[in-house]
Amino acid sequence: MKKGPFVILLTSVLLICLGWPGKTGAQAPPPDDGVTLLFLLKPGADMTRVANIISGVNGTVVKSTTIQATGQQVLKVRVPSGTSADAQNSIKAMADTNITGVERNYYLRLQNLGYGKKDQEQGMETCSPNDPDYPQQWALPDLHFPEALCRARPDRIPAMTYIDSGVNPVYPFELVLVQQFNFADDAGGVREYPFDADTNNNEYHGTGTSGTGAATTNDHEFIAGIASAGTPVFLTMLRVADPPGTTITVADVVDAVTWCIDHQRERGGPGPINMSINSAPPYTINSSSVFQGLAQSLQAQGDLLVNGAGNTGTEDASPEQYIRRVAGIDENNQLASFSVFGPFYAAAPAVNILVFGAPTNGFGLPSLVYVNGTSQAGPYWAGSIAFLMADCPGQKLNAVQADAIIFNTATVTNPTGPLNLQYNIPNLKSALDYCNGLQK
């Protein structure tokens, strides 16, 4: 299979569909490893009861992680080869109160489609960033970032966490404050020097998504990141893909999210956690009880999990609970043809987005490429949260509070897409105006 930049298909049977399919029934689940189940247990769970349930499906606990902040436990359980689906169904049928959720170890994928076409250059506006490639970033004016920049007075360094394929420190003045931890293949969070997992395929997914939110703005270099009003962004990358970035499992992503719960201070305090990772509906991260349970714990401590909706162009009917799902829109504020849609109303630009590509000379000057995909919609929303947390005058907002302001002050689209929904697109000028009103 030929791969273009920023396209990662984590298995050949997961196809990205363009166009508008109608509403569909249940689809075949994404492939899993056939032998691993993930349990999320309530605090103080009866472990004897849980052990009996695991024994009843011939399972063996191969890893147990306790989330110190909540007392929850995450168990990685091995079952006989090929029986994970039957075992999961049996456990769900028991509806045991000790078990908050049980999932198979599915394979996931990153959410960029690939190259887009170059958009027409836009004129510079008052308070527009001085970054030379800003005129090609149509998304920032669409989000009213230049007007917000006039009002921005950062009183803290914005912090963003990404769960992705890794990040290259592509240029010393663009992604400066970077720390990276490895969770791929059950690594468990080993600190490592930042690098993108997709160097062999020249894709650089994590570098592209992180630049959308975290590239330093007003530094006279390359693109402008939406979280920055002139200060560097404190970027934490949790790498869940091994070189060359061809596989990601639910188990590794669960480990990364679990780490976020217990390491808030190390990530720079409460903030948005961006994942541009998903599978085809109805087997999405949003539909997972394990992920929703972890996301609820994150919200309780002021963090917010943000996830790009996906690129299959189909409906994800799972209700929105604790994860902020973000659909993709085009230059006309219409739902992008590839974007997943459903009962959720947040959206951000996802078509013809200028991002960092492979360095042109090793770990030096980056290339810039245009991409399509909800991999960019998520970082635009998450980056808006980080921007507001740093710039809302006199307010020490956490990520949940900032998200609510962004959603409630957003630009609302005309009805669009197969369900004829209206979407809320961040309007950072309106969000900061609201903050200024709180100060009075």
pLDDT in tens, the chain (440 residues): 223 332 222 222 222 222 222 333 456 788 899 999 999 999 999 999 999 999 999 999 999 999 999 999 999 999 999 999 999 999 999 999 999 999 999 988 888 877 675 544 444 345 889 999 999 999 999 999 999 998 888 888 999 999 998 888 766 557 778 999 999 999 999 999 887 765 544 468 898 999 999 999 988 888 999 999 888 999 999 999 876 556 789 999 999 999 999 999 999 999 999 999 999 999 999 999 999 999 999 999 999 999 999 999 999 999 999 999 999 999 999 999 999 999 999 999 999 999 987 766 555 577 888 999 999 999 999 999 999 999 887 788 999 999 999 999 999 999 999 999 999 999 999 999 998 776 54
Evaluate whether residue 435 is within a structural domain: yes
83, 105, 127 - which closes a domain = 105
Q: How many helices (H) and strands (E) does the chain have?
A: 10, 19
Question: Do 117 and 180 share a domain, yes or no?
Answer: yes
Evaluate whether residue 368 is within a structural domain: yes
Which residues are paired to 329 by β-bridges? Answer: 335, 349
Question: Do 116 and 182 share a domain, yes or no?
Answer: yes
Bridge pairing between strands 277-278 and 109-110: antiparallel
Residue 26: DSSP 8-state: P
Contact predicate 333/429, CB 8 Å? no
Question: Do 246 and 294 share a domain, yes or no?
Answer: yes
46, 70, 105 - which closes a domain = 105
Identify residue 238 by its one-letter amino acid code: L
Question: Do 239 and 299 share a domain, yes or no?
Answer: yes
In 3D space, the residue among 196, 247, 244, 228 whose CA is nearest the CA of residue 357 turns out to be: 196
Evaluate whether residue 22 is within a structural domain: no
Contact predicate 148/140, CB 8 Å? no
Cα→Cα distances 329→100, 147, 334, 336, Å: 34, 21, 5, 5
In 3D space, the residue among 214, 175, 226, 206 whose CA is nearest the CA of residue 349 turns out to be: 226
Domain that holds residue 271: 110-439
Cα→Cα distances 256→72, 98, 208, 368, Å: 15, 23, 20, 28
Evaluate whether residue 296 is within a structural domain: yes
43, 75, 105 - which closes a domain = 105
Evaluate whether residue 28 is within a structural domain: no
Question: Could you report how far apart the first and last alpha carbons of the chain are, in Å?
Answer: 58
Q: 75 is written with which tokens? A: 């168990």
Evaluate whether residue 143 is within a structural domain: yes
Question: Do 93 and 197 share a domain, yes or no?
Answer: no
In 3D space, the residue among 3, 44, 343, 61 whose CA is nearest the CA of residue 201 turns out to be: 3
Residue carrying the six token digits 């769960």: 163
Evaluate whether residue 24 is within a structural domain: no
Residue 268: DSSP 8-state: T
Q: pLDDT value at position 170?
A: 64
The CATH number covering residue 231 comes to 3.40.50.200
Identify residue 58 by its one-letter amino acid code: N
Question: Do 240 and 387 share a domain, yes or no?
Answer: yes
Question: Do 93 and 231 share a domain, yes or no?
Answer: no
Question: Do 170 and 254 share a domain, yes or no?
Answer: yes
Number of domains in the chain: 2
Q: pLDDT value at position 220?
A: 86
* Segment (H or E) for 278: strand 277-278
| C-alpha to C-alpha distance for 112 and 101, rounded to whole angstroms | 29
Which residues are paired to 36 by β-bridges? Answer: 78
Q: pLDDT value at position 121?
A: 41
Residue 320: DSSP 8-state: P
CA dihedral defined by 21, 276, 373, 357, rounded to 10 degrees? Answer: -150
Q: pLDDT value at position 198?
A: 58
Question: Do 395 and 357 share a domain, yes or no?
Answer: yes
Return left, alpha or beta for 101; rule: phi > 0 is left, psi -120 to 50 is alpha, else beta: beta
Question: Do 125 and 214 share a domain, yes or no?
Answer: yes
Question: Do 427 and 279 share a domain, yes or no?
Answer: yes
Q: pLDDT value at position 173?
A: 56
Contact predicate 398/302, CB 8 Å? yes
Evaluate whether residue 21 is within a structural domain: no
Burial profile 135-150: b = 16 or more Cβ within 10 angstroms, e = fewer: bbbbbbbbbbbbbbbe
Q: pLDDT value at position 196?
A: 75
Question: Do 322 and 374 share a domain, yes or no?
Answer: yes
Q: pLDDT value at position 16?
A: 28
